[in-house]
Copies of this chain bind each other. A is one copy, B any other.
Amino acid sequence: MSATETLTVEDKKTKSLTMRALVFQGKHQIGLKEVPIPTPGYGEVVMRVTLTTICGTDLHILRGEYPVKPGLILGHEPVGVIHEIGPGVTGYEIGERVLVGAITPCGQCNFCLSGNWSQCGGPIGGWKFGNTIHGAQAEYLLVPHAQANLAKIPDDLTDEQVVLLADIASTGFSAAESADLKLGDTVAVFAQGPIGLCATAGAKLKGAGLIIGVESDPVRQEFARSMGAQVVLNHEKVDVVEEIRKLTHGRGVDVAIEALGTQATFENALKILRPGGTLSSLGVYSGKLSVPLEPFAAGLGDYKIVTTLCPGGKERMRRLIELVQRGHVDLRMLLTHHFSLDQIVEAYQLFGERRDGVIKVAIKP
């Protein structure tokens, strides 16, 4: 019996038809709404969300800094259980626990087939949830291109152990990966928010030698050390460029990771990069971004600047799950606060104001 056959007409009748979801209604306006539970079309699956979280990008949307359509359900970090399977999806069964990445590539367009899965169909096109289609801060979630995006969760892992893989771990780790970090590289990570902390963890995972975190918030400084930074510099108290130059005997770092999206961090990252080094940028920039020419050696320093949007797809998720399962990384401590879906507006406030040492909030529908 295939998965789709398990859904009888009877089942459908008894299922509730609406769900609660966090809906964006316009700048600074979000609220829980009762909306229809989605139905999967060809190649799609509907999952019942069991854990999700709020991302810095959601705050950008809320503040009107990143435009999405009013009426959209936000969120892009879902853990859950398969609820209904559309035609054309094979190898899955209702009831299986799955993790879906923030980025859901189709796998079949020219961009995907070039290996640029995050740019599925065009610029930033892989990011669909809570951007161009309804997102994960809801009781149920329609997963597009489900065949390419449902990663099964082993029984011995909890939702909390994997939820942060969907976005911040995948994004953060990618900084070192995109920089092609080599064994023994010296790395500086600018800003130790959720993404920066994962970038720090990723630098360690990939085999960095000295890892330097840059952060002024004492709580985040402490997290940075837990994630693998041997030195944490407070840019409000010391001249970071000067300090890193000393720490590296004048040489600079092999890889500088920008994890905030500001001119200041970008500039410092470039300033302490050794010739031939790589600036791996994860930040979302707004306003203006300029390249300081002296540290850029006027274009002659063999510098590389690489940017990465969160890698997605079920194979990426499978690999990240493997890292957690084998004990190489544990991100649970970053889930500093827990809320039910009913409390999500409150959770947005806490997270948006960075109150109370918050790093990430767990939202349980």
Contact = CB atoms under 8 A, between A and B. Distances in A.
Interface of A: 42-43, 87-88, 105-119, 122-125, 127, 145, 147-148, 173, 177, 182-186, 202, 204-211, 230, 251, 261, 274-276, 281-291, 293, 296-309, 313-316, 318-320, 322-323, 325-328
A302 B305 CA distance: 10
A116 B274 CA distance: 10
Contacts of A304: 304-307
A61 to B, nearest CB: 13
B43 A323 contact: no
Nearest to A297: B123
Contacts of A147: 106, 108-109
Contact of A299 (B117, B145, B261): B261
A315 B113 contact: yes
A171 to B, nearest CB: 10
A290 B293 contact: no
A86 B276 CA distance: 31
A302 B118 contact: yes
Given A206-B206, A302-B309, A113 B316 contact: yes
A36 to B, nearest CB: 23
Given A183-B173, A319-B209, A322-B210, A300 B314 contact: no
Contact of A323 (B105, B207, B301): B207
Contacts of A118: 276, 302
Given A230-B326, A300-B307, A119 B275 contact: yes
